[in-house]
């Protein structure tokens, strides 16, 4: 079994993160999944939620992902997101304002996006 896996986290408009990792945790339509080196091949649909990547160097990378796909084979993990932001890129105060605005407007989709962004910031 390999000691690490190669991860590509890609949004529709850019490559978000690429590197070696020992563990990736993501939310799929079947529930949360943890992928480690040697995991059996998989293909799934990503739900909105934080993705946590434990790098080979021991660091943790967290991203807010809003939909997409996850694919794993031969110790290569691809996360193809519709929209994705690294937690370090998220302005928590702006996300809180967006959440309040979404609640006021009764916009469930915007509320969910803001909540995911805030959860990603809290995890980092």
pLDDT at 1 exceeding the cut of 60: no
Classify domain 3-85 at the CATH superfamily level: F0F1 ATP synthase delta/epsilon subunit, N-terminal (2.60.15.10)
Return the structure tokens found at 6. 């190669």
Could you tell me what percent of the chain has a pLDDT over 90? 78
Q: 89-102, pLDDT tens digit by residue?
A: 999 999 999 999 98
Listed by start position, the domains of the chain span 3-85, 90-121
Q: Using alpha carbons only, how large is the chain's radius of gyration in Å? A: 15
Which residues are bridge partners to 91 per DSSP?
none
Q: Taking the model in full, what pTM does it have?
A: 0.88
Distance CA 124, CA 5 (A): 21
Q: What is the pLDDT of residue 124?
A: 62
Per-residue pLDDT averaged across 103-107, rounded?
A: 90
């Amino acid at each position: 079994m390999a000691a690490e896996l190669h991860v590509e986290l890609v949004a529709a408009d850019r490559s978000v993160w690429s590197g070696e990792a020992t563990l990736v945790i993501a939310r799929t339509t079947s529930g949360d999944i943890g992928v480690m080196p040697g995991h059996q091949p998989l293909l799934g649909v990503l739900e909105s939620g934080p993705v946590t990547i434990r790098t080979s160097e021991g660091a943790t990378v967290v991203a807010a992902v809003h939909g997409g796909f996850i694919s794993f084979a031969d110790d290569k993990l691809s996360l193809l997101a519709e929209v994705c932001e690294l937690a370090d890129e998220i302005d928590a105060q702006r996300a809180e304002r967006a959440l309040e605005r979404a609640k006021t407007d009764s916009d469930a989709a915007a509320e969910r996006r803001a909540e995911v962004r805030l959860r990603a910031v809290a995890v980092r």
